[in-house]
Structure 1
């Protein structure tokens, strides 16, 4: 019997340790540390876990059919032993019953296959992933870069580096209700529509039979390069919702497809059995914190359980060359719940974020073994689902072409994409002993520094005024290159001098009042010229050498803040503003 040890786990963020604390060292919550007894894993490897595990219960996986009622399950006829409709259980022939004996179930050829598949020889079974890794490169089949699976969203493919690589594991994390499950459900439906598995459209039982039979015509001679065919179904495993609940959401967002199989289970053995049975083209697990293994002690969602579940799913993905999309929970501070090992084990880590008050959603790549890690995808959340925004140039700009005081436009880099951001400022007379500073989308400490520099090097005193600075539609102007636009918006609001709507400003402001160069200036200028801007105020010591001229836009070079405000036309006061106002 394994010796148990006392562990203390935070119920909010999942932190664990050997000592009790009144306040969680990770998230800072009080009274959330609970004691539980955790025994070490009974198995050291996933192979021994499968050898010692009892036969898992096979749950049903049902396709999502549009506006079609769920067929009731028919009673099994004992004399013929047909397969139950709506279930992926194999037919109970004498060969199958003999291969499913509880004393050693995992040593059978394939416990998830029907009788006619269990008669194959031992050489036709899949080999472990560790053995296939010793094959020479010339026998490893096609390059995975050539067989990427497109998600149906160009923005999603952009973040992943061109699509989903076969055998890869992608972890999707985000706040509750941000739209992770909706995005992955629509992605699963898009890939299922591409598969075109007409055999799965007749009935649920036909889908189970056809997925359990190995395709000898398309199988690669090398087990390591065996991939699910393009006509294979897509499996969506939900540990948080029932099948009917997932079906309702799929019908609401238009993600109904007969090739999309839905299963509801929280047992790791059942999930692995479904993957072995259906041999899907893609697997979506929602979520990794709700699935648990009965072979490892610990609470579901704890560090030990999450590590074991992630290891088993990744081993199945690499062994069968089936890509997987995992949903991950986050803690109060926005980090992924569970051990840090989870992020190291998977191939891609994506963060799905956005403000709850707005419909804009941003998908960022934090880790990507098959592409860049600084890409961002834009999506729009609505009641009918998620739609991608291929050209987000107008998301963070106000409507109208009127020149209004207190506004300035700049371009901020988000990954490889240059986004226009409109900064708005309001300067009013303060009636409080300490003037108010309110920001939205801008760092408040950065604003305090800019106000001090404007007073010292531009002669504009705003220290005694209430300042309100914000961006449009939840945009973020936290990049140092946005300093000049913030200072220009404040000066425009204080002097009541509007800035031309066709003028943009770039530059980082130093404490000495100098305008420092910004990275990727050429990308910002080309995007500004494409959107119709005619004039740009840029640092004189810019990193863009101008060898490739940008037609249609005039560059105004400035050295310091005073020259920049003069070039923008906000240095001359139309009405004098004093410190007491």
Structure 2
């Protein structure tokens, strides 16, 4: 073979990683059977050509074209970092029935009312079905255009005809293109359709929102390269038995990637919840054993959450450990520390732990609230009703410091809490709260009187 002859290249269909020869498993993402031959690559060096634009000092680059335009939905704008940037491609993923289409109809209505014409392309439902939902939720506007398409070229034709200032595609898995083989939703089709829509967005400065499905483990369905191609990835979460919905930023090229927006799904649509702490607390006239309140931070937003625990004797040889809204592996570790370091007897006892309002508590700062709720339930001694608990619990029983204690306690004070059990060296605390410091788990149990009568 000649030295400068072209050679074949192989690319992973999941992550786009290129290798020089075929492999059964991608060395980058570890996916099996995803490496495919993708034509040939020239061995000779590519000669320099004319630049497509003139390089300028960074201070002279115009930034007006990259400023975000608000969608009119405040909680969505919070997660996006201010709104939709011209030419941005946003992927909104979530489980079926969580409310993705309802949210985007609200976005389309607000956008049409303030920014201009919006095109909503549906590939999963008929235009009539979407029209009925929009009427039920009060999201009808003359500048909202609706089309039922499932082929990329037809979608592009709709864009040329309508000339919208924003496009919503529901969903990317239902779209296909005749230029490549494969079934809709397959790796090749999803990648090709996404590439075509991204090229359209960048060429015309047109923001495009793509709806994506999720797999059983909660990750975005389809090739992983889809998440790399788009500018923003949002995850819409919620328990179907609860009205609360959380919008999490997973990837954001234009803002913070850890922000969270809160929504409440109602019969007449979806509304933002700017102050969600009240949804995660149970208001009682008197304290009840087995409950503890903590403060977590989602993005930049502190939110109060309540942990409930129930401890009951059992005759089963293997006591049950049921968890709802918490990390089961972390709960198992916390219960072991409580039994070993806190001397709380959980032998032949079922332990049930849960959160209130559908909240998920996975932050280590909630460890102390979990173990104290379980200890309170086992000892049948209630914690003070005006107490919040903060701290990570280590395997040695020590209570470790968490970040942003002052900001967390400021939110607790705003909602009427007057006491706080905190780790040592918690930093400056806001006025109106009395700090109870505990270095380890045994100290925390003593301070709260959970060792009485032991």
C-alpha contact (below 8 Å) 1:151/1:187 kept by paired residues: yes
CA distance in 1, matches of 2:218, 2:409: 34
Deviations 1:17-48 (A, max 9, x none): 998xxxxx979xxxxx9xxxx9979xxxxxxx
Tell me if 1:280 matches 2:280: no
Distance in 2 separating the partners of 1:571 and 1:388: 43
Q: What's the counterpart of residue 375 of structure 2?
A: 491
Match of 1:143 among 64, 76, 85: 64
| Deviations 1:491-548 (CA, angstroms, capped at 9, x unpaired) | 1111211111101111111121111111221221111111111010111133xx32xx
Q: Which moved more, 1:474-483 or 1:177-186?
A: 474-483
Consecutive unaligned residues in structure 2, runs of 5 or more: 1-12, 15-21, 25-29, 40-49
Match of 1:345 in 2: 229
Query: Residue 39 of structure 1 contacts residue 297 of structure 1 at CA under 8 Å; is this kept in 2?
Result: no
Distance 1:341 1:490 in 2: 43
Partner of 1:523: 407
Structure 2 partner of 1:220: none
Aligned to 1:539: 423
> Compared with structure 1, are the counterparts of its residues 162 and 382 closer, same or farther at alpha carbon in structure 2 (3 Å cutoff)?
same
Aligned to 1:360: 244
Change (3 A) 1:39 1:295: farther
Q: Which of 431, 435, 438 is matched with 1:551 structurally?
A: 431
Cα deviation for residue 252 of structure 1 reads: 0.9
Per-residue deviation at 1:386?
Answer: 0.9
Q: Which moved more, 1:168-177 or 1:490-499?
A: 490-499
Shift of 1:561: 0.7
State the 1:320 CA deviation: 0.5
Q: How far off its partner does 1:450 sit?
A: 2.2
| C-alpha distance in structure 2 between counterparts of 1:491 and 1:140, whole Å | 60
CA–CA distance in structure 2, aligned partners of residues 444 and 339 of structure 1: 29
Task: Quote how far apart the aligned CAs of 1:133 are.
Answer: 4.8
Which of residues 74, 77, 83 in structure 2 aligns to 1:154? 74
- TM-score, normalised to structure 1, is 0.68
Separation in structure 2 between the aligned mates of residue 529 and residue 408 of structure 1, nearest angstrom? 16
CA contact (8 A) 1:39 1:298 kept: no
Distance in 1 separating the partners of 2:77 and 2:445: 42
**Structure 1's 132 and 271: CA in aligned 2 closer, same or farther, altered over 3 A?**
farther
1:102-121 counterparts in 2 under 5 A?
Answer: none
Q: Once structures 1 and 2 are overlaid, which stretch shifts more, 456-465 or 507-516?
A: 456-465
Query: What residue is the counterpart of 1:174 in the other structure?
Result: 94
The reply on whether 1:250 has 2:130 as its aligned counterpart is no
Deviations 1:73-100 (A, max 9, x none): xxxxxxxxxxxxxxxxxxxxxxxxxxxx
> Is the Cα–Cα contact under 8 Å of residues 451 and 463 in structure 1 kept in the other structure?
no
Count residues in correspondence.
422
1:235 matches 2:119: yes
Give, in angstroms, the shift of residue 131 of structure 1.
7.8
Equivalent of 1:397 in 265, 268, 281: 281
Hey, what's the Cα distance between the residues in 2 that align with 1:306 and 1:412? 37
CA distance in 1, matches of 2:292, 2:419: 12
Q: Which protein shows a greater Rg?
A: 1
Aligned ranges for residues 295-306 of structure 1 at < 5 Å?
295-306=179-190
Aligned CA RMSD, in angstroms, stands at 2.8
Shift in alpha-carbon separation, 1:144–1:292, aligned structure 2, 3 A: same
Gaps spanning 5+ residues in structure 1: where? 1-8, 11-16, 20-24, 28-32, 42-129, 196-231, 577-581
Deviation at 1:141, TM superposition (A): 4.6
Aligned to 1:109: none
- Give the whole-Å Cα distance in 1 for the aligned partners of 2:157 and 2:361: 48
Query: What residue in structure 1 maps to residue 309 of structure 2?
Result: 425
Counterpart residue number, 2:3: none
CA–CA distance in structure 1, aligned partners of residues 310 and 413 of structure 2? 28
376, 385, 393: which one aligns with 1:501: 385
Match of 1:561 in 2: 441
Alignment equivalent of 1:193, drawn from 113, 116, 127 = 113
Q: Secondary structure at the match of 2:443?
A: helix
In 2, the alpha carbon distance for the partners of 1:296 and 1:407 equals 57
In the aligned structure 2, how far is the partner of 1:407 from the partner of 1:509?
18
